[in-house]
Structure 1
Amino acid sequence: MALNRNYILLFLFSLVMTVSGLASMPPLDRDEPRFVQATKQMVESGDYVDIRFQDASRYQKPIGIYWLQSAAVALSGKGAAAPIWVYRLVSTLGIALAVLGIAWTGTRLFGASAGIAAGLVMAAIFATAFEGRDAKTDAMLLACCVAAQGALAQIYLASRRNEPVAGHLWWIFWLAQGAAILIKGPIAPLLSALTIAVLFAFERDGRWLSKLKLGRGLLLVVLIVLPWLALITWKSDGAFLQQAVGKDMLGKVAQGEESHGLPPGFYMLTYSLFMWPFGLIAVGAGLQALNRLRDDVRLRFCLAWYIPFWLVFELIPTKLPHYVLPAYPGMALLIGWLLTLQPQEANAPLRRWQQWLWWSTAFGLVVVSFGLAAVCVGAPIYLTHTFSWWSIPAAASALGAGYLAFSRQLQVPLARIGAVAACAGIAYGLLFGVIAPSLKPIWLSPAINEAVRANKPCDTSVLASARYHEPSLVFLVGTKTVLTDIDGVVKHLLADPACALGLAPVEDEQKLNGLLAGQGKVASRLTTIDGVNFSSGDKMSLGLYRIAQ
């Protein structure tokens, strides 16, 4: 009973950690609006096999996340008019499931207190706080990875102890692998394969792998993945495999894709942010685990979960912070493990190089804590020229989380872990739920959408936009929105002079009217939208136009 209560409380805690900002944060260009717009078009068209953004195919990722978001939209009853928060609920649920999964794994490996600690850590790090509010693949992928790795860990541990392996574990492992492939391709299989490979290299014994029931498991994965894969391959005439595998996946391995090519070391430098505020505590636990690697198979598994996956992605040229998110649960488990030791064991002296790494991570914790506090205070002043009183408790909570997480003792009590998580949760809630949405100059697409709604002459009015082509504009204003240049805006206005709307930089207004003058027309500027395109960093002054009547 107590165990079930722990799981329920952790699930609810995770939801509380991510609910703030779901509705108030506008769509985050550029990836999130691409996902939600593709889902929106499925709802509009009734085609739940093909994936498209307007008229272009979108075959970078499989269908899983779009189906889940479509289900959320259907349950909302709002159809294609569903707001962004409906789509984000899938990610919020994904993080909550990942928190439950790591608590379940930690409990089975190290005991109830360790499971609670691992769940609190996963619910409260910056990476999951952000991804739980972002309607993309990564939160639900994390849930699948945690389920698969949790089952694998228990199979491995039972085999090493010559204990019976629960019959449901191989089912969980393979079902999670199949679901993960449908969500983001081979990431979860890669994580498990790397874990297994490192364990085999260390032990030279793979007999325990028979408990995975490889043949039946692979058949189960094929039954999950193959139907849609066959349909989309037929419907796209092979373009899905060519784009998803040949261009997206292999392209990222061979060279930096989408301007995200970075050298090795990127994930080490960003670790303190995305594992904040628990990065230092996790490093301390990880170093103690390294020193006991040969003594405990459970530690061996956790380190094999984290280290090889992190190293592989350091070597891949294309880098984004969320790529290594599936590795972080391995470190969360080690924080829980450290609680099970006697204080003198848990706080045993580190080696010289380990002390250097610990102090480097401590420096990172300080920098990130003060950095987040500075953003909470400085962003409203810089962008809106006003001071937000919400900045004070937000900054104080960020600094409080950093202070509590800066422990000279490697073993941090469960109560203190809970306090760190609570402080971080307050900081996230205010940052994502209040401060960020108030930064109006960076939210150009919502401002444009409001201007279109206030000024459209007809219910059927369609907007054509020149130079501002962010995907969020399409999601908010409508699927028929035309992303074009000045010539395209002119043609659009002339094609429907009574109803059409055009959006163009004010600096191009003379050119716009010059082109219209050749047809005996003139554009009337209805309103001006000023702001910053945060995706590109460009300051923009955009005019909303229609043909003067």
Structure 2
Amino acid sequence: MQEGSFIWGRLERRYQAVAKRLDWIWAIALLVAAVIIFTINLGELPLRDWDEGTVAQVAREIWRAPAGSLHWLFPTLGGEPYHNKPPLMHLLIAWAYSLAGVNEWTTRLPGAILTAMSVPLLYYVGREIFHQRIVSVYSALVYLTMLPVVRHGRLAMLDGASVFFFMVMILCALRSRRNLRYCLGVGIGFALICLTKGMLGLLLGAIAFTFLYWDTPRLLLNQYMWIGLIIGCLPVGFWYFAQWEHYGHTFTNIGMIDQSLSRIWQPVEGNKQPPWYYLVEILKYTHPWLLFLPASLRFTWDNRNLSWAKLVLVWSWVYLVAISIMSTKLPWYVFPIYPSLALAIGAQFAEIENLPMLSSFPRFWTIGLGVLAVVATGGSIFYSFVKPPQHDLQLIFAAVAGTMALAGILAERGDGQFLKVLLWGSYISLLLFMKSHYWVWELNEQYPVKPVAEMIQKANPSSQKIYTLNSAHRPSLDFYSDRTIIATLNTNEIEQYWQNNSKPYLLLKEADLGKLKISAAKIIDRAAGFILVIKDTVRL
């Protein structure tokens, strides 16, 4: 009996060692694939407006601050206090600036690397809740090949980092079920989320605790869990107390209410959308995985007594309902839901993997893949004949068309290999898309800022503030010009600024110069349809 137990113990230890080695191999392979797609062509395109331009400017002001100053704790934007978000990601970008200079690549790199690291992290989350390794592999690969994940993860935004820290929190919560030391990781993950996106930590923390209440309620009564949370709350509490101590009620009113909590009941900067807005976002950008989502969610609901299904249901539905009832709606707010959808789809794919050869698949899948192949073929043909031909888009659509067509044919024949074709083809198609100059498509919506910013930099205005007759504020223009460009349609405000300053600077379209009642105006440079105007003191 003892000899049998000894042999069984040796076999079990050997199995665990092999399983651990396989997990490492998969994690490294997933990380390499993720780093490639998240960093290729990362610095070739200019920063886009709002989040990227703002984050980069705050990070640069931290980087420029004298050594030993508390600028990292009390960041500024254009010299004014910045209350929008805690500065963790801005600090990482400032650190990248100190290593490799200020440019698009260093601005986007920290967020891209953290988002890439979330891919193997999702694999490990899957290993905690699924018995089969293949489910974890499929989940991580589906997540890696989702367009919104790759695109927003590459941008200099806070969402990819927040998702990574949330996965740290979820993984530690899952592992704490068998090892209470991981309770500390739950608190650390919560702290990192709060120090990245502020109040979002409360929502994501509530999701984690709702899952534990449903799945493992004993952990919520465990002292180690609460010790871990208290330790995690300490740096968050310190940061918020430091802001309140330094700025007083200004931080409370602006940082906590106007910039955070008020987004729940009122739209910020006109970003108001109907409650179904995020459902539409998911429908628009999750192809081809959208085809499998209804069956995956139904399969998840049928297994709701299992831990993995509880996690997917709580994660996806609680988060979706929460952001849908908010008044402020922005496309990247839906980012944290994609890992949960990938887990559901991965579970469904594992069921397909276990089916006998030449099994019949739902007709909806083959028809959907066929439709995607036809649409992509049409896109490839269209961009072949436009003038001038856009060869990058032609190749991208051709890759998508080939992937969908081959996967559709295999699915029609009942061959489960269509999943591998779909995953590999989607990865290659996304890689080609990220290699192109189209992945930040918002850059085509307005005039290019870099030529205008170079004109301003060349003039080197003594004033840090420049007025422009425009309705849209462009944070990216602020960053590249290293000035604060105040956009307004109020001509009286611009005229008053002109009269009350001895060295005013105006950035205008040439046709707008005649709309202003200003004297002694002198054009000193032109670029991209804009002129830079100063006051000619000689004529005065």
1:303 aligns with 2:313: yes
The equivalent residue for 2:183 is: 170
- Greater displacement, 407-416 / 60-69: 407-416
Query: 1:301 offset after TM fit, Å?
Result: 2.1
The equivalent residue for 1:65 is: 89
Deviations 1:233-262 (A, max 9, x none): 111123223223222332121132221222
Deviations 1:261-320 (A, max 9, x none): 2222111111133433322234432222222223x2322222222122112222222222
Residue 213 of structure 1 aligns to a residue in which SS?
A: helix
What residue identity is the alignment partner of 1:105? Answer: V
What residue identity is the alignment partner of 1:318? Answer: T
CA distance in 1: counterparts of 2:354 and 2:259, whole angstroms: 48
1:98 to 97, 108, 118: 118
8 Å Cα contact 1:464-1:489 kept in structure 2: no
Residue 124 of structure 2 aligns to a residue in which SS?
A: helix
CA distance in 2: counterparts of 1:367 and 1:226, whole angstroms: 50
Distance 1:437 1:279, change over 3 A: closer
Distance 1:55 1:284, change over 3 A: same
The equivalent residue for 2:426 is: 421
2:509 to 483, 490, 505: 505
CA distance in 2: counterparts of 1:448 and 1:380, whole angstroms: 32
8 Å Cα contact 1:462-1:501 kept in structure 2: no
Distance 1:65 1:348, change over 3 A: farther
8 Å Cα contact 1:451-1:527 kept in structure 2: yes
The equivalent residue for 2:396 is: 394
What residue identity is the alignment partner of 1:502? Answer: L
Residue 216 of structure 1 aligns to a residue in which SS?
A: helix
TM-score w.r.t. the length of structure 2 is 0.81
CA distance in 1: counterparts of 2:522 and 2:147, whole angstroms: 47
Query: 1:122 offset after TM fit, Å?
Result: 1.9
Map 1:268-279 → 2, pairs under 5 A: 268-279=279-290
The equivalent residue for 1:475 is: 479
Query: 1:220 offset after TM fit, Å?
Result: 0.9
Query: 1:20 offset after TM fit, Å?
Result: 3.2
Map 1:292-371 → 2, pairs under 5 A: 292-294=303-305, 296-341=306-351, 343-344=354-355, 370=375
1:291 aligns with 2:302: yes
1:446 aligns with 2:467: no
Query: 1:218 offset after TM fit, Å?
Result: 2.2
1:216 aligns with 2:227: yes
Residue 215 of structure 1 aligns to a residue in which SS?
A: helix
What residue identity is the alignment partner of 2:513? Answer: E
8 Å Cα contact 2:115-2:160 kept in structure 1: yes
Deviations 1:119-171 (A, max 9, x none): 2222221111111221111010010111111222344xx4xxxxxx1244222
CA distance in 2: counterparts of 1:273 and 1:16, whole angstroms: 25
CA distance in 1: counterparts of 2:286 and 2:164, whole angstroms: 17
Residue 533 of structure 2 aligns to a residue in which SS?
A: strand
Query: 1:216 offset after TM fit, Å?
Result: 0.5
8 Å Cα contact 1:170-1:212 kept in structure 2: no
CA distance in 2: counterparts of 1:388 and 1:509, whole angstroms: 37
What residue identity is the alignment partner of 1:449? Answer: A
1:36 to 29, 42, 56: 56
TM-score w.r.t. the length of structure 1 is 0.80
1:544 to 532, 536, 540: 532
What residue identity is the alignment partner of 1:151? Answer: C
8 Å Cα contact 2:524-2:532 kept in structure 1: yes
Deviations 1:427-486 (A, max 9, x none): 43244x467589778442112023335x52x68686724124311111001145565676
What residue identity is the alignment partner of 1:422? Answer: Y
CA distance in 2: counterparts of 1:36 and 1:86, whole angstroms: 10
Deviations 1:52-95 (A, max 9, x none): 2214433121222222222222222x2xxx01221111110121
Deviations 1:179-206 (A, max 9, x none): 1010012324423423543664x67x72
8 Å Cα contact 1:277-1:405 kept in structure 2: no
8 Å Cα contact 1:313-1:323 kept in structure 2: yes
- Matched-pair identity in %: 17
CA distance in 2: counterparts of 1:197 and 1:66, whole angstroms: 31
Counting matched residue pairs gives 504
CA distance in 2: counterparts of 1:326 and 1:212, whole angstroms: 29
Map 1:120-269 → 2, pairs under 5 A: 120-155=141-176, 158=177, 165-197=178-210, 200=213, 206-210=217-221, 213-269=224-280
8 Å Cα contact 1:62-1:182 kept in structure 2: yes
CA distance in 1: counterparts of 2:344 and 2:35, whole angstroms: 23
CA distance in 2: counterparts of 1:504 and 1:288, whole angstroms: 58
The equivalent residue for 2:75 is: 51
The equivalent residue for 1:84 is: 104
CA distance in 2: counterparts of 1:61 and 1:306, whole angstroms: 24
Is there any run of 5+ residues in structure 1 with no aligned partner, and where? 159-164, 531-541
CA distance in 2: counterparts of 1:209 and 1:435, whole angstroms: 43
CA distance in 1: counterparts of 2:94 and 2:438, whole angstroms: 28
Distance 1:395 1:91, change over 3 A: same
Residue 217 of structure 1 aligns to a residue in which SS?
A: helix
Is there any run of 5+ residues in structure 2 with no aligned partner, and where? 1-20
Residue 274 of structure 2 aligns to a residue in which SS?
A: coil
Deviations 1:17-67 (A, max 9, x none): 122342122111122211111121222234112232214433121222222
CA distance in 2: counterparts of 1:85 and 1:142, whole angstroms: 21
Residue 132 of structure 1 aligns to a residue in which SS?
A: helix
8 Å Cα contact 1:339-1:413 kept in structure 2: no
8 Å Cα contact 2:169-2:190 kept in structure 1: yes
